[in-house]
Structure 1
Amino acid sequence: MSHDMSENLPESHGSAGEVAEHGNPFADPGLPAHEPRRTDIDERAAKRAERQVSLMFVVSMLATIGFIASFVAIDPDKIVYIFPLGKVSALNFALGMTLGVALFMIGAGAVHWARTLMSDVEVPAERHPIEADDELRADIMEQFRQGAAESGFGRRKMIRNTLLGSLALVPLSGVVLLRDLGPLPEKKLMGTGWGKATQAMPLELVNMSTMQPMKAEDIVVGSLTFAMPKGLTTHDEDFQQRIAKDALMLVRIAPEDIKDDKSRELGFEGILAYSKICTHVGCPISLYEQQTHHALCPCHQSTFDLADGARVIFGPAGHPLPQLKIITDEKGNLVATGDFAEPVGPSYWERAR
């Protein structure tokens, strides 16, 4: 048995040596012969492909224009039924479809251009070190110039111009979306709901907790109460927008402790009505220290001296809290006779201060 095995071993090794000597089973088969495309040999087919690519780029441009037109023309609150999506926002659907078509057509046009008109000759290259030598750099640049020439970018002006047009228009979609950061303020920041009040037709202050008119006799020294104008309710669709400007905080300070004469005149028997909106970034102020008459914004710790015209004594706020002129009517209810003398909330570029 051992003799038979020793006789078989040399034969086995000899067969393996013959395979290694006569050929490599994993040899590189090389590249297949290049087969020209129809567009390579038929100029009419090439022209047809050029028109198809240009059409895709033109569709992209039209879709971008449609995106901008949809943004301007469609009501943001409009709801439509789209099968099978169901009820969706008409504006969101239109923006998504037009922008999707614009981007898809640029990509599809580029792919169709590459597959039908650009050079498809495969060029093998051996692996090389990461750092290229001068000869390799020159070879790469020559290949780039050759590829640019074979792509027809300079010769096929229709494709070039429509591609540049679509690429130039698509960024406008992003620029238009900047408009969706919010409505233009126009003059909306200059006034509040208290602007409806006049000397002849004053506007009642309503307690935000009880929703009842506020009587001067019910406000005690050292207290802090929040108010809003009569007619505004939490059920209003735009309540959050309006209360962000109309909210008041009322404090009652002993008249002899009020340092600012103008502030004393705007109040009623020591009751002072200030905007509740911080003049830094618009946070609602809700912390009051009755011994010092300081109001603190919880967001960034801006501190206002309510006994001294609500001037800023600490923190990043840029100006004092606006104060509302208040009196009482024949029923003893607190009423406002006009709007704030200056806009409420944070500073912005159109403010005088």
Structure 2
Amino acid sequence: MTDDLEPTGASEGTVAHEPIGDPGLPEHQWRPTDVDADLERRAERQVSTLFGLGALLFLGFCVAYFTVDADQTFLGWNGQNFALGATFGGGLLLIGVGIIQWAKKLMGDHEIVEERHPSASSDEDRTAVMIDVNAGLNESGIARRPMIRNSLLLSLGALGLPVIVALRDLGPLPHDQRRTVWKKGMRVVNDVSGTPIKPEQLQVGQLVNAEPAILFEEDADGERVLHGTEALQVKSKAAVIVVRMRPEDITPSKGRENWGVDGILCYSKICTHVGCPISLWEQQTHHLLCPCHQSTFDLADNGKVIFGPAHRPLPQLPLGVDSEGYLIAMSDFPEIVAPSYPELARDQKKLDKNS
């Protein structure tokens, strides 16, 4: 039985087997595209068409992103999500099907037997691998099939367009959004019911989550009514809290003596650390706590930071009362409403200069 075994440079104590000359594989069957030039060209056109359609779907993704309304519905689904998913997923599917068709019909088709070898490859093995890789590239026909190569490159290049376009959903940088929708005369309304607030409705120690009335008013005064995603974006940036304290407990800084109404003050709901919504209110101490990283602001002392990682006071909105007795804003926030970022100090100086 040992006549069929022969050492071939194996390590001591082991015996290497010579490969079987005929492992019993059936006779190779050539594919139609291997023997018929017309079928080969037809397959090449099919693969190129799949890649080209994939590129068109990626372009369709970009078109749908800008043209399909985010609030539109289609068969009960969000219309924009459906359009983006269908075009992007369809493009990936067509590329995958095209590559499979390319491999099945046009790439080299023959059996390969590889001997087992030690895990540490020798220089000769590495050289052989590169020879095989180059041979595979030659057999794939990518060099002599420019139609397939170019259409694949086109499709893969178009694949990057949806990625670039989708980055827009990360939103504008904070220093490009220096103002909120608040302006003089705009009513402060409850963020749940949308009803305007009168000073006598608030008790000492009470906190109310509020927002600008523009989100709920009709377009009676020429103002553009906001709906859907745009309204939610404006609401999130302009969200405020309204608190009432005893006037004698408040220590306003110079120039802010008239920013409140009978002890009622209004501050941004956005923490100046990383932008978390903040409304944990301590009535007795007049402190407002952020639930994310425990930054603490003293609302009786101009929103001053007294604890935590925040470095800027909470922006305060100056308040007044209109002719019907409802709380209104007297202007927009004088400070930038946003989490802290390196360019904030520079942008705040520019904002103060232009104000």
TM-score per shorter chain, which class? 0.7 to 0.9
**1:159 Cα deviation after fit:** 1.1
The answer to whether 1:225 aligns with 2:214 is no
**8 A Cα contact 1:263 1:272, kept in partner:** no
The answer to whether 1:290 aligns with 2:284 is yes
**8 A Cα contact 1:66 1:98, kept in partner:** yes
In 1, Cα distance between equivalents of 2:37 and 2:25:
27
In 2, Cα distance between equivalents of 1:133 and 1:148:
23
Structure 1: which 5+ runs fail to align?
Answer: 1-26, 82-86, 198-202
In 2, Cα distance between equivalents of 1:150 and 1:212:
75
**8 A Cα contact 1:64 1:102, kept in partner:** yes
Structure 2: which 5+ runs fail to align?
Answer: 1-20, 218-225, 350-355
The answer to whether 1:132 aligns with 2:128 is no
Query: Which of 323, 348, 351 is 1:352 aligned to?
Result: 348
User: Which residue does 2:42 correspond to in 1?
Assistant: 48
SS at match of 2:74: strand
User: Which residue does 1:4 correspond to in 2?
Assistant: none
In 1, Cα distance between equivalents of 2:87 and 2:309:
44
User: Which residue does 1:195 correspond to in 2?
Assistant: 183
User: Which residue does 1:32 correspond to in 2?
Assistant: 26
User: Which residue does 2:313 correspond to in 1?
Assistant: 320
The TM-score normalised by the length of structure 1 is 0.73
The answer to whether 1:97 aligns with 2:86 is yes
1:197-243 deviation per Cα after TM superposition (whole angstroms, max 9, x unaligned): 1xxxxx555577995743369654xx243264567669x96686555
The TM-score normalised by the length of structure 2 is 0.73
**8 A Cα contact 2:206 2:283, kept in partner:** no
CA separation of 1:149 and 1:345: change in aligned 2, threshold 3 A: closer
In 1, Cα distance between equivalents of 2:151 and 2:91:
13
**1:89 Cα deviation after fit:** 2.8
Aligned length: 314
SS at match of 2:149: helix
In 1, Cα distance between equivalents of 2:192 and 2:135:
78
Identity, in percent, stands at 41
In 1, Cα distance between equivalents of 2:72 and 2:298:
47
User: Which residue does 1:168 correspond to in 2?
Assistant: 157
Amino acid at match of 1:149: N
**1:162 Cα deviation after fit:** 1.0
**1:120 Cα deviation after fit:** 0.7
Which entry has the higher C-alpha Rg, 1 or 2?
A: 1
**1:187 Cα deviation after fit:** 7.2
User: Which residue does 2:302 correspond to in 1?
Assistant: 309
**8 A Cα contact 1:277 1:284, kept in partner:** yes
The answer to whether 1:80 aligns with 2:74 is yes
SS at match of 1:262: coil
RMSD: 3.7
User: Which residue does 1:215 correspond to in 2?
Assistant: 199
The answer to whether 1:340 aligns with 2:333 is yes
In 2, Cα distance between equivalents of 1:218 and 1:96:
48
**8 A Cα contact 2:55 2:155, kept in partner:** yes
CA separation of 1:287 and 1:43: change in aligned 2, threshold 3 A: same
Amino acid at match of 2:117: H
**8 A Cα contact 1:224 1:251, kept in partner:** yes
In 2, Cα distance between equivalents of 1:230 and 1:60:
46
CA separation of 1:130 and 1:341: change in aligned 2, threshold 3 A: same
